[in-house]
Chains A and B, each alone.
Chain A
Amino acid sequence: MACDEWRDKLDLYLDGELEPKEAVALGAHLRSCSSCASDALERVQLKRALQVAGKRYAASAEFRKRIVASAALPARARVDWQWRWTNALALVLLAIAGLLYVVSGREAARRRVYSELADLHVATLASATPVDVISSDRHTVKPWFQGKLPFTFNLPELQGSDFSLIGGRVTYFEQAPGAHLIYQIRKHEISAFIVQDRGREMPALPSGPVSKLSFNIESWTQNGLRYFVIGDAGADDIRALSKLLRDAG
């Protein structure tokens, strides 16, 4: 290879970019060619001069401090943020879990109440003596409960309605005494339970009608009493009886 060709590759060689094989060959050439060797030396000197000259500037200590701080502080802030996000996420998850627990707890309580009411309703109707006091007259039934329950309540006047009062009995709902009234409408028997409202101990039931276990149920709280109306009658009939009871109460 001619010296001109080698010289074309001198910069690559000195920059360490030449293929190893070629670099070895060029190295050998430089040892044998003083002209190329002196050219290489000149180039190395220029490189060195540039290296030295290039390091001319240095940042002020004050500026350096500022940048180092700026590179570090937001990083820490970001770590903080990540933590905050993690914490926030944990809190949200915890809140959701808590809510689910409460909701599922309430749902379980609700289901328990519905089951108990349905059981009472069905068991009573299946009994040979469903009611202890038989009357279609509220003036007979209501006084019958006197002394049997630690509370009193009003019953609606049924004249002019399709409902008739079959009778009543004392029942126990959630380990507390209550009035169980049985109404009839078009061969459908509907139970109305009246118990003392025990606030938080009692599961919060929606006040509107609920279809559960194929029974229609309506529940509300009035004057410290909890009313449950349950039966296999249509929702409209349940609602109508509930309205009568509510208006009377």
Chain B
Amino acid sequence: MPDPRLSAATFEDLAVPLFDQLYTFARWLTQDTAEAEDVVQEAYAKALKGFASFRPGTNFRAWMYRILRNCFLSSRTGLKATVPLDVDGEQDVLPTDGATPESILLEQTGRQQVQQALAELPVHFREILLLCEVEEMSYGEIAETLGIPAGTVMSRLHRARKALRARLQEELKGGRHGV
């Protein structure tokens, strides 16, 4: 029997406020408007169908994002963008990465460049940065959403930031060359 506290109206109450965030996340993952809409629509349908299995008191947002992410991973773009198995196997857990002149970097790069760099990142880096910076999820929530240990969140996030900085620097150089 479904929990009586989970009346069907509650799904609407919980899921509708997440719509904008979920769409943005899906749009970033898919890099395509039509596909993002498909993924979001599928995620809402699946979540509604499986709402009875959602345990009240647990994190609904993480649950919803996990469903959305699974929908993405089984989508056309998602299947092409599978995360390599050894992505977290590298040794450089939390190394210091020299002094990157980020402030200079960021002063010279506008929003467009950051968006461009983010879009060019591999999906597993892009999604973790979005969850952390845009959705402002805790490491615990990210771990729950991505289905990875909290320690992995830390290391993957570190490498994602590093990759983003590298990408921004490249863009900056490219831009300079272009001038």
Q: Which A residues form the contact surface with B (CB < 8 A)?
A: 4, 7-8, 11-12, 15-17, 38-39, 41-43, 45-47, 49-59, 63-64, 66-68, 70-72, 74-76, 78-79, 82
Contact = CB atoms under 8 A, between A and B. Distances in A.
Interface of B: 7-9, 11-12, 15-16, 19-20, 23-24, 27-28, 36-37, 40-41, 44-45, 48, 94-96, 99-103, 106, 109, 111, 114-115, 118, 129-130, 132-134, 138-139, 154, 157-158, 161, 164-165
The A interface is mostly helix, strand or loop, or mixed, namely helix
A243 to B, nearest CB: 57
Contact of A8 (B40, B96, B109): B96
B130 A54 contact: yes
B9 A42 contact: no
B157 A11 contact: yes
A100 B167 CA distance: 79
Contacts of A52: 111, 114
5 contacts: A8-B95, A38-B103, A54-B118, A71-B12, A78-B8
A41 B37 contact: no
Contacts of A67: 16, 19, 40-41, 44
B103 A42 contact: yes
Given A11-B158, A45-B106, A59-B37, A70 B45 contact: yes
The B interface is mostly helix, strand or loop, or mixed, namely helix
A71 B48 CA distance: 7
B133 A59 contact: no
B171 to A, nearest CB: 13
B144 to A, nearest CB: 14
Max count, chain B CB within 10 A of own CB: residue among A43, A53, A56: A53
Contacts of B157: 11, 15
Contact of B23 (A16, A41, A57): A57
Contact of A46 (B19, B96, B102, B154): B102
A64 to B, nearest CB: 6
A139 to B, nearest CB: 75
A159 B34 CA distance: 98
A54 B139 contact: no
A75 B100 CA distance: 51
A50 B111 contact: no
Contacts of B8: 74-76, 78-79, 82
Given A8-B94, A11-B158, A59-B19, A54 B102 contact: no
Given A42-B102, A67-B19, A47 B133 contact: yes
B96 A4 contact: yes
Contact of A54 (B41, B94, B134): B134
A7 B98 CA distance: 10
A111 B96 CA distance: 95
